[in-house]
Amino acid sequence: MTTLDDELSQYRRWRPLRPGRHPAAFQRLLHHEFAPPAELRKWADSEAQRVARWACDQTSFYPNVLRERGLSAADIRGVDDLPKLPILTKWDVQANSDDMTAKQLPADDRLWGVVESSGTTAQPTRVAMSANSNLMFTHLLHRAYRWHRYDPMAVMASIRRGQYLRDATGQPLENGKTYERSTWQYLGKFFHTGKEIGFCRTNPTDAQIDWLRERRPDYLLCMPGIAEEMAFACVDQPPVDSLQAVRAIGGQVTPQMRKRIETTFGVPVHQNYGLNEVGHVAVRCEAGRYHVHVEHCVVEIVDDDGQPCEVGQRGRIVVTALRNPAMPLIRYDTDDTAEVTDGLCPCGRTLPTFGEIAGRLRRYATLPAGTRDRVRAAIDPLQEMPAEHTRHLRRYQVHQSRDNRFELRLLATGPLPNALHKWMHNAWRDRLGSDEPALTITQVDHIAPSPSGKYLDFTSDCHDETAADDPLRASPR
């Protein structure tokens, strides 16, 4: 169990750039991590009330929402009153962007810019972001690195999209080139850190592995699919023996993915939970729960009617942003689902928690009954099979056709063994029964990413025509 003294000891490892000065925001994070739950709830109630009043005073959108329900800002006195308001969807934000933008900002804040959703829909959701809200990204990233016991003076490596890794001229990094900076991004503005290096994720997997072995970083930051592809490629040994941890960003880490990556790399996989429209929402602790950043947001797990789920139930994650006066988001639907947890976390920290994230709820909302079970019947056995069957495998995708038949598309660097096909067909039949149409397994030379650049493990042609921008609609092959 972790204690406040443990965290204080870790915090002292981070040397501020201005000696003797530790920003109050970082110290507040420390205090909240072990504060009594009643104190944290009082804080959340006060913040929810403040945001509701600000939204009604400074936007034209929220007064109308409250008026339609016979409410005023005074009726939102805390977290328990939030379910009086409707769920806010991405489409609501897209349609009412101007009305949701604040008329002015507090005297101690300013407009930082406009952020976009990660693009799982063809039309991204744009949210005006204040400078103080944007700054919280750095503060909460520090909390995550501290919880995961990162050494601030170590070498951080990133394998990301080229536009996040600019060369000396400001252009997106080209394949084969290395991005270098003397300090870690974000946290290097506040603390002494080691250097950060970067490599474009469009480099072939083998080139990524060679790069890691040449550069020998201490930490690796990448999308979970990138780490999994390297795990597939390195069935006999870790990609590199210098790593202390992998930080997965920009995608869901399933239990099977986590097991494969951690087993092959020999290091833990760490993950935060967040979204571009809000920022960091929660951080996963060593006990496997996600702890909510109460300084930045309120999280609810709700049912289809927008009401709180019971302990043990799985529901939609909705988030109320607390630090963005430029464009308040109250009860914003993340499209993700998670399980409600109960009691204090075994890790010892008292921040509110929720369970493992189960993926996108709307991925299956308009699909034929049984789709989820069939997708899992194709993906789980693939992730569970012996490593020697997947030696050449680099990426996979399950596709559902309009006649509700399923195809498993496999991208590989060489021929896949018959044992893989046999394993998959047997697992499909065992899980779904002999009456189920057979799973088609196809080796392909390309799997297209979504508009955001993320590689989806499932696409479908069965979505409602009204959901033409759904991320699971198959891309042209």
Rounded to whole angstroms, how far apart are CA atoms 226 and 221?
10
Nearest to 18 by CA among 253, 191, 264, 228: 191
Rounded to whole angstroms, how far apart are CA atoms 252 and 266?
20
Question: What is residue 468's predicted lDDT score, i.e. its pLDDT?
Answer: 37
Q: What is the amino acid identity at position 281?
A: V
pLDDT tens digits along 394-433: 889 999 999 999 999 999 888 999 999 999 999 999 999 9
Mean pLDDT of the chain: 89
Question: What is residue 121's predicted lDDT score, i.e. its pLDDT?
Answer: 39
Question: What is residue 20's predicted lDDT score, i.e. its pLDDT?
Answer: 62
Share of the chain above pLDDT 70, in %: 92
Position 264 confidence tier, pLDDT thresholds 50, 70, 90: very high
pLDDT tens digits along 56-78: 999 999 999 999 999 999 999 99
Contacts of 9 (CB under 8 A, 6+ apart): none
Rounded to whole angstroms, how far apart are CA atoms 90 and 333?
7
Phi, psi of 114 (to 5 degrees): -120, 130
Position 362 confidence tier, pLDDT thresholds 50, 70, 90: very low
Position 120 confidence tier, pLDDT thresholds 50, 70, 90: very low
Question: What is residue 254's predicted lDDT score, i.e. its pLDDT?
Answer: 81
Lowest-confidence pick of 26-30, 72-76, 99-103, 278-282: 26-30
Position 476 confidence tier, pLDDT thresholds 50, 70, 90: very low
pLDDT tens digits along 173-207: 999 999 999 999 999 999 999 999 999 998 989 99
Please give the angle made by the CA atoms of 454, 455 and 459, to the nearest 5 degrees.
115
Rounded to whole angstroms, how far apart are CA atoms 293 and 70?
31
Lowest-confidence pick of 27-31, 51-55, 282-286, 355-359: 355-359
Name the pTM for this structure: 0.82
Contacts of 391 (CB under 8 A, 6+ apart): 232, 233, 235, 414
